[in-house]
Structure 1
Amino acid sequence: MTDATKIARRYIELWNERTPSRRREMLSQDWTADARYVDPLMAGDGADAVDALISGVQQRFPDFKFKLIGEPNGFGDHVRFSWGLGPDGADSPIKGTDFAVLKDGRIQSITGFLDQVPPGA
């Protein structure tokens, strides 16, 4: 059985990791080599592209961090969780929900939905 909470927490840790070499290590451990990420604003195939997407978000929002909102859930090889992106100690101005498809316990694809994005973000 898939541990939805563990998958979601590791995913959030990845997006918060600022050290490129550590982020690449996490990608190789937790994502398949052919992993795909897509949301309404960006998409990428493979570890290099996913890493570049994460780096871009970190550069655009240098003082923001990701956090889980609510409890992740899932079944089989599917996991759903919600997240917030914002400054520590404050409500997240940006919120979303991601759906992961796993292969052999690793993320094979993420489809992200943006639930709340303020103008200009």
Structure 2
Amino acid sequence: MTDHVTIARRYIELWNERTTSRRRELLSQNWTADASYVDPLMKGDGQDGIDALISGVQQRFPDFKFKLLGEPNGYGDHLRFSWGLGPDGADSPIKGTDFAVLRSITGFLDQVPAGA
């Protein structure tokens, strides 16, 4: 049985990891070589492409962190979870919901402030 909560937590941990070597290690442990990520603002293919996306988000929002919003849920190899991106201890100005088929992620941005 798939543990959707653990998978979502690992995903958030990956997006919050600032050390490149550790982030690459997490990618290799938890993502397939042909994994993909896409949302309305960006797309990345393979571990290199996904790592570049994460690095870009971290550079653009250096004081922000990802956090899970609510409980992840899923069925079989399908997973859905919501997340927030913002400063610690404050409401996240950026929010989204991701849907994964445990080898690719499609992100939907639920809230993005103007100019982000």
TM range (shorter): over 0.9
Take 1:44 and 1:90, find their aligned partners in 2: how far apart are those partners? 29
* SS of aligned partner of 2:24: helix
- Is 2:111 aligned against 1:116? yes
Deviations 1:10-61 (A, max 9, x none): 0000000000000000000000110000000000110000000000000000
What does residue range 1-121 of structure 1 map to in structure 2 within 5 Å? Answer: 1-102=1-102, 108-121=103-116
- CA-based RMSD: 0.4
Take 1:115 and 1:45, find their aligned partners in 2: how far apart are those partners? 23
Take 1:9 and 1:2, find their aligned partners in 2: how far apart are those partners? 13
Partner residue in 2 for 1:105 = none
- How many residues end up aligned between the 2 structures? 116
- Which is strand-richer, 1 or 2? 1
Percent sequence identity is: 86
Higher relative contact order (Cα pairs below 8 Å, separated by 6+ residues)? 1
Deviating 4+ runs (over 2 angstroms): none
Structure 2 alignment gaps of length 5 or more: none
Deviations 1:54-113 (A, max 9, x none): 0000000000000000000000100000000000000000000001112xxxxx100000
Question: Could you tell me how far 1:2 is from its partner in structure 2?
Answer: 1.1
Take 1:99 and 1:48, find their aligned partners in 2: how far apart are those partners? 21
Structure 1 alignment gaps of length 5 or more: 103-107
* SS of aligned partner of 1:34: coil
Take 2:86 and 2:28, find their aligned partners in 1: how far apart are those partners? 26
